[in-house]
Amino acid sequence: MFIGIYNRSVIITYLGIISAMFGVYLAGKHSIRYAMLCLVVAGVCDLFDGKVARACKRTEEEKLFGIQLDSLADVVCFSALPISIFYGMGLNKWYHIIIYTLLTIAAITRLGFFNIKVMDTNRDKPVDYYSGLPVTSAAMVFPLFWLLSFCLNKNLFLLVYTIIIALVAFLFVANIKIKKPKGAAYGVMVILAIIMIAAIVFIK
């Protein structure tokens, strides 16, 4: 009836996209706190979608579909959603448009490069190192620095946050090695995500 694949190997990816779209809606309503919450949830989904997919018995077509779907979802979750949040925060000067454009270009360049690398390796074998900062890091970096808005004056906060966005765009495509979390590190990242969610919800 429909094109695409809708089995359990990709369900977490779809949940991440759903969270991101709720976040875009909330950002448009200037509900930044809960839009940030949606960003963190999307990050948690991305953290585990590959692990779940590799645990499923998949055809070669399903593996290829999963790779493409994950990258497209990352564009929505960690580029489109953050930029929507930035606009909702009031970061809407002309130079912000340039920074957002660079952030988007850096994100899709990184994801396209990653897809090529995955095609050349065993698709069921997770990589040991990332080249550059993973786009998923947006789910922790942007909410974490947003918390500065509660202790800095508005103008200083907006300046610092603008610099952080530009730095993240640079790190997306910087040729540096970052070790990928494995085993117990996943548990640590989940705990950090829970702490971040609690901070977003309760810090006033």
Give 178's strand partners. 130
Q: For all residues of the chain together, what is the average pLDDT?
A: 90
Q: Strand runs (DSSP E) across the chain, as ranges?
A: 129-131, 177-179
pLDDT more than 70, % of the chain: 94
User: Is pLDDT at 141 greater than 90 in this prediction?
Assistant: yes
Q: CA 146, CA 87: separation in Å to the nearest integer?
A: 13
List of domains in the chain: 11-202 (1.20.120)
The residues near 164 (Cβ < 8 Å, ≥ 6 apart) are: 141, 142, 145
Per-residue model confidence (pLDDT) at position 65: 87
Rounded mean pLDDT of 142-162?
96
User: Is pLDDT at 124 greater than 60 in this prediction?
Assistant: no
Q: Could you report the per-residue pLDDT of 13-48, keeping only the tens digit for each? A: 999 999 999 999 999 999 999 999 999 999 999 988
Per-residue model confidence (pLDDT) at position 200: 94
Q: CA 178, CA 72: separation in Å to the nearest integer?
A: 22
Give 177's strand partners. 131
- Token pair recorded at residue 103: 């952030």
Q: CA 131, CA 145: separation in Å to the nearest integer?
A: 23
Q: Residue 192 in contact with residue 140, Cβ under 8 Å?
A: yes
